[in-house]
Amino acid sequence: MICVSIAEPTVEAVLRALAQAQGQADLFEIRLDALEKPAVAPFLSVRKKPLLFTFRAEEEGGFRPVPLSERLTWLREAASAGADYVDLELSAGPEAIRELLKVSRTTKLILSYHNFEKTPKEDYLKDKIKEMVEMGAAIGKVVCMAKEVEDGLRLLGLIPWARECFDIPLMAFAMGPLGKWTRVVSVLLGAPFAYAAARPGGATAPGQLTAEELRKALALLSEEKIS
């Protein structure tokens, strides 16, 4: 599946982007950290496809510095209101994760780890995934900056490993120019979805493809039709 990430400064701009990208996406990520005045209800009220709400910490790629307490308030609101997914950094800690899980009745919790500097060693990344499992994640996410092509191979190998060892769906891919290909292959290896930009210039992370580019690449590499 293709998750189109929407990062716009106003509610109105997000609503326009959602309407324009309906045909490109299987689900949408709403980047609350990009909004000047965060909101949840306006998007849920017009939901036609699954919605993932993310309020990313600045140190893991967020658009601005916001205290964890405020970010958690908005994610709790999204989960309480029945969002399909919410994403919280593993680094937020056990207490914050437990707090979010309490209100996530039907909402699936994605616990994520991002490293914009490098791709750590495999054992370190596996330990992060184990923590995600122990903390109650429905889905794990591990994204790191690729300094060499081999970094992407290390990350992709985590997808079948997580499935075999913990039966947890994992999104794992590399950022940056050397990691673009991993965004495509990750889905073929079983990642629940891949993130894409709605339009050129709308990327929310280094190396992110547009939804059109991602769909074409998947179609080329897969014998099955990508819905």
Tokens coding 98? 């437990």
- Does a structural domain hold residue 173? yes
For the stretch 116-140, pLDDT in tens is 999 999 999 999 999 999 999 999 9
pLDDT, position 227: 47
Instruction: Decide if 227 is inside a domain.
Output: no
Residue 226: inside a domain = no
Q: Which residues pair with 40 in a beta bridge?
A: none
What proportions of the chain, in percent to the nearest 5, are helix, strand and coil? 45, 20, 35
Which pLDDT band holds residue 1 (cuts at 50, 70, 90)? very high
Residues annotated as catalytic (active site), given as ranges: 114, 141
pLDDT at 200: 86
List, for residues 197-207, the tens digit of each pLDDT value: 988 888 888 88
Q: Does residue 126 form part of some domain?
A: yes
Residue 81 within any structural domain of the chain = yes
Q: How confident is the model at residue 84 (pLDDT cuts 50, 70, 90)?
A: very high
DSSP string, 58-103: GGGT-SS---HHHHHHHHHHHHHTT-SEEEEEGGG-HHHHHHHHHT
Locate tokens 């999204």: which residue?
78
Domain count of the chain?
Answer: 1
215 is in an annotated binding site: no
Residue 9: closest CA among 43, 35, 46:
35
183, part of any domain: yes
Q: What is the CATH number of the domain that holds 65?
A: 3.20.20.70
The whole domain housing 16 covers: 2-221
* Confidence at 19, pLDDT banded by 50, 70, 90: very high
Show the CA angle centred on residue 108, arms to residues 97 and 23, nearest 5°.
135
194 beta partners: 2
What's residue 223's pLDDT? Answer: 61
Q: Is 112 annotated as a binding residue?
A: no
The reply to whether 179 falls in a domain is: yes
pLDDT at 225: 46
163 is in an annotated binding site: no
Q: Which of 188, 150, 132 is nearest to 142 (CA)?
A: 132
Q: Is 153 strand, coil or helix?
A: helix
Is residue 24 domain-resident?
A: yes
Residue 227 marked as a ligand binder: no
